[in-house]
Amino acid sequence: MELIITKKELKKRLGRAGNIQSIGFVPTMGALHKGHLSLIEQAGKENEIVVVSIFVNPTQFNDKTDLEKYPRTLETDLQKLKGTPCDYVFYPDVDEMYPEPDTRKFDFGQLEKVLDGRYRPGHFNGVAQIVSKFFEIIKPDKAYFGLKDFQQFVIIKALVNQLNLNIEIVPCPIIREADGLAMSSRNTRLSPGQRANAAVIPKTLFEAKNLTSRYNVQQLEEWVIKTINKNPYLNVEYFKIVDDERLQPVNDWAEPVRKVGCIAIHCGGVRLIDNVIFN
């Protein structure tokens, strides 16, 4: 495993491996956990070379305080990557990735106007900026994204289609803690009390899956929000049941689409997201 900090060096290393069958890419912002490592393990099973990026991308943060507080744990991350299939760790600084301002504007239509896109304006444009840069540098055959960030996964697929890239976007299942909480780098910012109460989120989502015969879609959305908001540690920003391709609201359980319940919650000063598949 090698740590590389410049685009030029990474391109050179990948170019030398010109006879390789495939390159797998796992983009991360560091503070690695078992969820990230599961993506890397899958990439290792399906590719000869695995590249992992660690870069806290400033253009996808619409909250400067959130950017400043995002955990940065390079030494610990490198220790966790030892023994994984990772061949190259790409760890550029901001000037390396943005030598000049990126003024590109991507249009994802309704995909970016709902859910997180509604509450975090500009977020997905920033994601598209950095991911497209990584794709251009690494030229992976496959890229791996966790389904905890379900909207991001859908938008990255749209990005690949827009740019006409020959890259397979591989969805990877949510990895959860023992109490069900979706693993996230942000979990490290939770106080012990917040962390204990955050388990209410997955508990409520899993229970909601069993209530579709009791409530219609709108009633179930209201039930989830009300149930979670009863906890004094938690405040729901949104919970919406949408289809898994267009991310548009589902109005009736009979609709012939795969349904995903997406949620964002504030737990103190920490914003958490999760989702559950209904069918």
Catalytically annotated residues: 36
Phi, psi for 67 (deg, rounded to 5): -60, -45
Q: Tell me the C-alpha distance between 191 and 52, whole Å.
A: 29
State both tokens at 49: 């070379």
3-state secondary structure of 1: coil
Q: Tell me the C-alpha distance between 134 and 156, whole Å.
A: 12
Q: Tell me the C-alpha distance between 244 and 60, whole Å.
A: 23
CB-based contacts of 221, cutoff 8 Å, min separation 6:
239, 240, 241, 261
Q: Tell me the C-alpha distance between 45 and 171, whole Å.
A: 14
DSSP bridge partners of 2: 88
3-state secondary structure of 180: coil
Choose among 279, 235, 241: nearest CA to 262: 241
Q: Tell me the C-alpha distance between 55 and 80, whole Å.
A: 16
- Indicate the residue type of 268: G
Q: How far is CA 60 from CA 118, 152, 163, in A?
A: 14, 11, 19
